[in-house]
Structure 1
């Protein structure tokens, strides 16, 4: 005997079920295609992927291991076009190319990455972190706080890629997660940050510092500062956390008439040196530095350093007293250096102000953070000698790291593998700052060797036996061979520590370790 329920079920079964639409992503071996595919799948869409590269030339294929998707490699087969309802090509694909015409001739609907970003918007808080130095550590530390507090930050998952420009941050903040903490960089062009901000829809931003270290394309420092100011434009009426010890940031906030919640951080510490920075009034601000580019300042136009909202006092090694408007609490870090106190303060301010994490909880999280690989990373330690690699690749970053290391070591050797983004001026500045903060300088890259020629008579400059050949690949300043040769020369110096600096130092750190751990070399080091 049939019931009313049986009749209802029978009627439901007769209703045709809508087929799930298929999104075809071209260029899955590229960063943008890879992220676009994962964003779609994280939001419940059926995705198939294709790329002309083989699996051996698809460096980020591992990011798709946990996804159920059909991937066509080595070609763009007809089955891909026939199965796709929408096709998303990489933004770099030319409209005149044969592949683009093939998309147009298919029955699928063309969907640009821009269309995808409009269709799927961030459904979580988005925090964008920018600055000349410290943004990677601040970003990673804040994500560490989130993980410990039970929040899952979105991760782009590219192990060998910084991923802070163009479409990467906007796509990353659309991946699965409870919160997006994204590092946002620029290539020194007007609109770089605006492009990212317009697509990320941030609820909060952080500016770690602004130093004249990434200047290119003939731009001056004030122009570069305005590019960083594009973050302020997007965040009017929202929350911005900034380094209050940086006169450039504070002057920019005043110039742009920022309207929103402003939270500042800074330190109370002895002065390490003196420098000058341009002010928007046209004069130069005398800066009594705590670390490179920030400190105590006062300009005749009225710009003056005030007590920050989050202030670190009584800094002793890895510990400090955090002072806010209503509380004092002792903090201890699992990483070292005054520059990392600044990085910690930026993360603490966001965690407490925006995410409402109790300072007592942040205190527990902070001490368990052991740093970012490639940032003051010790690759060998012994009683008489420590070997370190560091990603520092601009004048302020190099100076800050060397200042901190010289507090620990009596004699310090630095291997420079950098070719500055700012060209000859930056290369020379790096050598000059190394001369002021290290006992021995080994210019391992072609451009650092070129910049060191005017100082070649100095006893501090130790040149490798073989002059490095001309090399630069993007921001990579030295080859594997140049790094190893420079490192060997550093070990000949009468130093307590050798630090190898630059993107190449970090890229080839495993090669350095292999060389160190070969039996004969290890015995020599121990002797």
Structure 2
């Protein structure tokens, strides 16, 4: 955060200084007690403080409140600013801080690939720029303030994930970061427990279009039917497309698998550039394309991109290939699962497992609410059309996939387990050097996570 004086903040939020000094500077912000982790923090606090002992390690601190003086702590330790409307004052502070920032701010959303795309962008830019970015996959509603304040006077670009758990989430994130570039990687089927319907979920992802600042850039996957059909009539900025199978501004062709990544040709404005991105699968090429469009638009040359892209390090438990039991090959993709990412993972299994026995271990898809049965059926249909020889499901709801896939494609050998305990010895007895095993599940599934860890030993 840029250091700001209490005197300056007081004017911005129209507050009255009850205690402390205008000369104190703050360098961190919070709106919950548990978010206070540093000294020199400004805390916008609803209600009254009960546990001063919780805050004392972080003195000096500034508190913005609708209440009067609440403490006997020394003036030099606790600064108190009284405001008439805390919510209004909080947003005055946010808007003023964001107004002071004049750098490219990239926001990435999508059902699958947003974390990898964000990480590729970060990797490409950080070689010669100071970057603010989403930490790991921490894209919850509570981190928007921290993301905004991670931008200081030395920051040259920022890239943040904007996830959808419910309608309004992207607009809420945008109220803080106000992106100048927005990316939608794809739109599948997820978070239907809060979005209720697929239409609502698609519209929630489409909030990205309304979130980009005037004159900004919208980056879309031209091969994703749901994404490309979003209403862009009110968007006044520049729309750029990327893809593989359809005509677009940034297109990948001549895609080739290698042992640790994907080779492809980037076509742009009748020029071609041969590229390599670590990480297996056509979906990884899409992730790379989205990142390439963003960094190219803020000034990075294709030669720079080519040189830096090849050193990207893939994320843990995302298409990691290793040796498993009895010399088998394990593809660990146990970080997350949607029908979109499942289809991509099965395509990787098909390519890595050419001329080998292919086993898919699939866990339950979460955050589906009343759509759980239908989406698991759809997942089973996807598996039935794949080249899987043996399907092993883990979990009660994942069993629906197995039942569906088995009915539609009787050539697939199907086994279902409630957890990893019996699944592991079963797998050990059916794997050898001619076997490739895909482990696909959700980060919250302990059974799938433990099974993947056992297989990777």
Which category describes the TM-score, using the shorter chain as reference length? 0.7 to 0.9
1: distance between equivalents of 2:55 and 2:254?
A: 66
Q: In the TM superposition, what is the alpha-carbon distance from 1:499 to its structure 2 partner?
A: 2.0
2: distance between equivalents of 1:218 and 1:130?
A: 16
Tell me, what secondary structure is at the counterpart of 1:357? coil
1:143 and 2:122 correspond: yes
Q: In the TM superposition, what is the alpha-carbon distance from 1:115 to its structure 2 partner?
A: 5.6
Q: In the TM superposition, what is the alpha-carbon distance from 1:364 to its structure 2 partner?
A: 0.4
Name which of 181, 205, 216 aligns with 1:228. 205
Match of 1:129 in 2: 108
Name which of 150, 157, 174 aligns with 1:175. 150
2: distance between equivalents of 1:83 and 1:170?
A: 20
Q: Structure 1 residues 502-511 or 404-413, which shifts more? A: 502-511
Q: In the TM superposition, what is the alpha-carbon distance from 1:239 to its structure 2 partner?
A: 0.7
1:375 and 2:318 correspond: yes
Tell me, what secondary structure is at the counterpart of 2:205? helix
Tell me, what secondary structure is at the counterpart of 2:255? strand
> Is contact 1:167–1:196 with CA below 8 Å preserved after alignment?
no
Match of 1:365 in 2: 308
Equivalences for residues 456-495 of structure 1 within 5 A: 458=410, 460-464=413-417, 468=418, 482-483=419-420, 485-494=422-431
Equivalences for residues 11-26 of structure 1 within 5 A: 19-20=23-24
| Cα pair distance change 1:483/1:127, threshold 3 Å | farther
Name which of 373, 384, 393 aligns with 1:424. 373
1: distance between equivalents of 2:328 and 2:58?
A: 63
Match of 1:203 in 2: 180
Higher relative contact order, structure no. (Cα contacts within 8 Å, ≥ 6 residues apart):
2
2: distance between equivalents of 1:369 and 1:81?
A: 39
Q: In the TM superposition, what is the alpha-carbon distance from 1:491 to its structure 2 partner?
A: 3.5
2: distance between equivalents of 1:397 and 1:88?
A: 44
Tell me, what secondary structure is at the counterpart of 1:400? helix
Match of 2:81 in 1: 109
1:433 and 2:433 correspond: no
1:287-323 Cα offsets, whole Å, 9 max, x none, are: xxxxxxxxxxxxxxxxxx5x10001111122211111
1: distance between equivalents of 2:202 and 2:291?
A: 22
Q: In the TM superposition, what is the alpha-carbon distance from 1:402 to its structure 2 partner?
A: 0.8
2: distance between equivalents of 1:138 and 1:24?
A: 28
1:191-248 Cα offsets, whole Å, 9 max, x none, are: 2211111221111111111223443347433332221221111224311111112232
> Is contact 1:245–1:267 with CA below 8 Å preserved after alignment?
yes
Q: In the TM superposition, what is the alpha-carbon distance from 1:370 to its structure 2 partner?
A: 2.5
| Cα pair distance change 1:486/1:217, threshold 3 Å | same
2: distance between equivalents of 1:88 and 1:388?
A: 51
Structure 2 gap ranges (5+): 1-20, 72-79
| Cα pair distance change 1:152/1:486, threshold 3 Å | farther
Q: In the TM superposition, what is the alpha-carbon distance from 1:394 to its structure 2 partner?
A: 0.9
Match of 2:399 in 1: 449
Higher strand share: 2
- Aligned residue pairs total 399
TM-score by length of 2: 0.76
Q: Structure 1 residues 505-514 or 381-390, which shifts more? A: 505-514
Larger Rg: 1
